[in-house]
Amino acid sequence: MRLPSAILSPFLHFFYPHNCLGCGSDIIEAENFLCLECINNLPHTGFALHANNPVEKTFWGRITVVAAMSEFYFSKDSIMQNLIHEFKYKGNRNVGLYLGNIMGKSLLSSNRFSDINALVPLPLFSEKESKRGYNQSFILCAGINEILHIPVITKNVIRIIRTETQTKKSRIQRWENVEKSFSVLESQRLEGKHILLVDDVITTGATLEACGAEILKTAGTSLSIATLAMATK
Ligand SMILES: [Zn+2]
């Protein structure tokens, strides 16, 4: 006997709250986080395929980057903001894995990232990570790893100084604020590798630049960068 869905669904939703994280619609497949319409409306950049894309240009004259990409455009009050909020502040790691999978598929479809040997999540301060329970960039790396099967190196590049809020600072002040924030613990784990440094949202690129510069001090490393989203003004 089939129970009427009116009885079933509230019961199921109690255990498995399931609305589209983009628009709130409940017309959504069980294994998805978004309805089909929101999936179709995701603001992919296509940058993975293109040299000299805006993310790569961000690092010109700053650090040597083999290739860089952001999977999505980020803007306020958008689907992306909802998704990022969900996995960064509401503890929904599965959303992060899902987004990491999407990044992995784009990286796989591009020959520009084909010789990466290790994924490194942009580290958080240990205090911040303990408070949140995880590093959101690590979750993205885990999602990328599910597609590319490239090892994730964690706890090797660490963040050592608390930086103040960046928003009211000039680019130079921002750089001074973050440049000494990172340290590599056992550099032999990175030696000779082409590292993909992963972060959630790129704005000025100052933090990625500082972390990337520290990684590049290790002999024989080369650096590429992948972020989930790029902030647009
Ligand atoms: Zn939707």
CA of 77 to the centre of ligand 1 (A): 14
Residue 224 CB partners (closer than 8 Å, separation 6+): 65, 66, 67, 68, 113, 116, 194, 195, 196, 197
CA of 43 to the centre of ligand 1 (A): 13
Count of CB atoms situated within 10 Å of the CB of 30: 7
Q: Report the range of poorest mean pLDDT among 110-114, 177-181, 219-223.
A: 177-181
pLDDT, residue 164, reads 59
CA of 19 to the centre of ligand 1 (A): 8
CA of 81 to the centre of ligand 1 (A): 13
CA of 137 to the centre of ligand 1 (A): 24
Q: Tell me, what amino acid is at 54?
A: P
What is the pLDDT confidence band of residue 117, given thresholds at 50, 70 and 90?
Answer: very high
CA of 121 to the centre of ligand 1 (A): 29
pLDDT, residue 10, reads 45
Write phi, then psi, for 230 (nearest 5 degrees): -115, 125
**Which residue shows structure tokens 């784990």?**
189
Classify residue 182 as exposed, middle or buried by CB count within 10 Å of its CB (0-12, 13-18, 19+). Answer: buried
CA of 116 to the centre of ligand 1 (A): 34
pLDDT, residue 115, reads 96
pLDDT, residue 9, reads 46
CA of 12 to the centre of ligand 1 (A): 19
CA of 33 to the centre of ligand 1 (A): 9
What one-character-per-residue DSSP string does 37-63 give? HHHHT--B--GGG-TT-HHHHHHTTTS
Tell me the mean pLDDT in the region 175-195: 87
Q: Which two three-digit tokens encode residue 42?
A: 């995701």
CA of 134 to the centre of ligand 1 (A): 27
Tell me the mean pLDDT in the region 33-40: 93
Cβ–Cβ < 8 Å for 130, 213:
no
**Which residue shows structure tokens 């999505």?**
72
CA of 176 to the centre of ligand 1 (A): 41
Write phi, then psi, for 28 (nearest 5 degrees): -155, 140
Cβ–Cβ < 8 Å for 53, 45:
yes
CA of 21 to the centre of ligand 1 (A): 6
- The rounded Cα 180 to chain-centroid distance in angstroms is 22
What is the pLDDT confidence band of residue 5, given thresholds at 50, 70 and 90?
Answer: very low
Residue 30 scores a pLDDT above 90: no
CA of 103 to the centre of ligand 1 (A): 20
Length of the chain: 233
Tell me the mean pLDDT in the region 109-115: 95
CA of 38 to the centre of ligand 1 (A): 4
pLDDT, residue 11, reads 46
CA of 84 to the centre of ligand 1 (A): 15
Strands (E), the chain: 68-74, 118-121, 157-159, 182-184, 194-202, 222-231
Per-residue pLDDT tens digits for 151-181: 999 999 999 875 556 566 666 666 566 777 8
Per-residue pLDDT tens digits for 53-109: 999 999 999 999 999 999 999 988 899 999 999 999 999 999 999 999 999 999 999
Tell me the mean pLDDT in the region 1-29: 64
Rounded CA gap, 203 and 225, in Å? 13
What is the pLDDT confidence band of residue 16, given thresholds at 50, 70 and 90?
Answer: low
